[in-house]
Structure formats: structure tokens, C-alpha cells
A and B are shown apart, each in its own frame.
Chain A
Amino acid sequence: DADVTQTPRNRITKTGKRIMLECSQTKGHDRMYWYRQDPGLGLRLIYYSFDVKDINKGEISDGYSVSRQAQAKFSLSLESAIPNQTALYFCATSVSGQETQYFGPGTRLLVL
């Protein structure tokens, strides 16, 4: 079983709709991240959380919000989706004091 899971894996939605992407991990890591990947732009950080009570904005947080419901769960919400939020979204985890990040399989989002 995968250590970092993301649901859904694919999602098509319409402009203006609210959607939530979910991430769960069984690695016991305290730190979780949300990135988006766009062709030619690499990975850009949206939000990150160092523990359940800690939420921090990343490079491109506008139009997004997050919730850290438990150490193992970190959700990303698009309050009112727009077409330029069409992208591949990755959740990642890490443990404090170690440098490696572990990535989920990604959620491919299409906003029409």
C-alpha cells in the first residue's frame, strides 16, 4: 500500500465550483506540503504545515486554502475554481530533522 495517498486521482470541474483534494499518509511524518506542477514551470509550493496547528502559505497560495485535520491528513480546497488552476497537484510529507520529501501519486485537475 502507498504511504502517501491522494484522492481523487483525476477530477474535472467547472469554473466557480468549490472542490477539495485530500491527502493521507501512513508514514507518521509531521510535515505535509501541497504543490502544483505545470508544464515547464516545475513544482510550486502552495501551502505547508509543520504540525497539526501550523499552517503556512507558500509561493502561490492565492485562491487556495488548506486544512490539517490530523497529523495524517492535509486537504487542499479551491473555493471557487478557475481555469488557470488546471494542473497536477502533489501532496508531500517529510519528518522534521530529515531532508527527504515523499510524494503522493498526484491529482490531475481540469477546470472548465
Chain B
Amino acid sequence: AQSVTQLDSQVPVFEEAPVELRCNYSSSVSVYLFWYVQYPNQGLQLLLKYLSGSTLVKGINGFEAEFNKSQTSFHLRKPSVHISDTAEYFCAVRSAGGSYIPTFGRGTSLIVHP
């Protein structure tokens, strides 16, 4: 079984400040990890993913995430946020050897204030 926990339901931050959105997962086997972003009134789109290799993954719009196997975490970071980063962010996990269906977290609402 696989599960994912997003530790913060809402993260307020000022423009140009750094941000970290936290994600922890649980799985008995190797995993693939994803971050998706949902802008207001839109569907989800992939921000970045970890499948294998380097544990530091870079995505679109200046975001990056680090896979930490010992901590079972995949936290999302951005050194300087913009107003346009205001959105809902979803972490997802998929067991590498099992079902091809990822499990999504409950989402973190990033609110960037001017």
C-alpha cells in the first residue's frame, strides 16, 4: 500500500520570499514521486517528478524538490516566489512495482501576498 501526507493545508508567504511545501510518503517498495500544480479554475499539470537517479529534481517555473529516502520525504522548494505561484499544489506517490495509479495528497494551498 502507498500513501502520501502533505503536512500543511495552507502556506501563506510574501512575494520574493522562499517557500517549502512538505510531502511525506509511505510505501513498502520503491516509489515514483510527483508534484502537480493546480492554478485557479484549471486542471492539474505536472510540476516535476522523481523516477530514479539524482535525488534533486528541477521542474518548471523555478521549482525543485529533493527525494530523501531515509526521511521518506519529497519536499518542494522555490527560492523566491511570485504572485503567479499562488495555486494548489499536490504531491503524489506511485509504487514502482505495483499499480500504475498514483495516490494524491490532500493538497497545499500556496498563497503569495504582495
Contact A43:B42 (CB < 8 A) given known A99-B32, A99-B34: no
Q: Are A103 and B9 in contact (CB under 8 A)?
A: no
A-B contact pairs, 20 of them (CB 8 A): A4-B43, A31-B100, A33-B101, A42-B6, A42-B104, A42-B106, A45-B101, A90-B43, A90-B44, A92-B44, A99-B49, A100-B49, A101-B36, A101-B44, A101-B102, A102-B45, A103-B36, A103-B44, A105-B42, A106-B43
Chain B proximity mask over A42-68: 1 for CB below 8 Å, otherwise 0: 111100101000000010000000000
Q: Are A103 and B45 in contact (CB under 8 A)?
A: yes
Contact A42:B94 (CB < 8 A) given known A90-B44, A103-B43, A104-B43: no
**Residues from chain A with Cβ under 8 Å of B101 in the complex:** 33, 45, 48, 58
Name A residues whose Cβ lies closer than 8 Å to a Cβ of B. Answer: 4, 31, 33, 35, 40-45, 48, 50, 58, 90, 92, 94, 96, 99-106
Inter-chain CA distance A42–B46, complex, in Å, is 15
Expressed in whole angstroms, the minimum distance between the Cβ of B56 and any Cβ of chain A is 18
Name B residues whose Cβ lies closer than 8 Å to a Cβ of A. Answer: 6, 9, 32, 34, 36, 41-46, 49, 51, 90, 94, 100-102, 104-107
**Residues from chain A with Cβ under 8 Å of B90 in the complex:** 42-43
Which chain B residue has the least Cβ–Cβ distance from A108? B41
Which of B41, B42, B51, B105 is in CB contact (< 8 Å) with A42? B105
Number of A-B contacts defined by CB within 8 Å: 51
Contact A105:B43 (CB < 8 A) given known A45-B101, A99-B32: yes
Q: Are B49 and A42 in contact (CB under 8 A)?
A: no
Q: Which residue among A35, A48, A101, A104 has the maximum number of chain B CB atoms within 10 Å of its CB? A: A101
Task: Known pairs A48-B101, A99-B32, A106-B42; list 5 more (Cβ under 8 Å).
Answer: A31-B100, A40-B107, A42-B90, A45-B101, A92-B44
Which of A35, A99, A104 is in CB contact (< 8 Å) with B51? A99
Q: Are A40 and B106 in contact (CB under 8 A)?
A: yes
Expressed in whole angstroms, the minimum distance between the Cβ of A47 and any Cβ of chain B is 11
Inter-chain CA distance A58–B103, complex, in Å, is 11
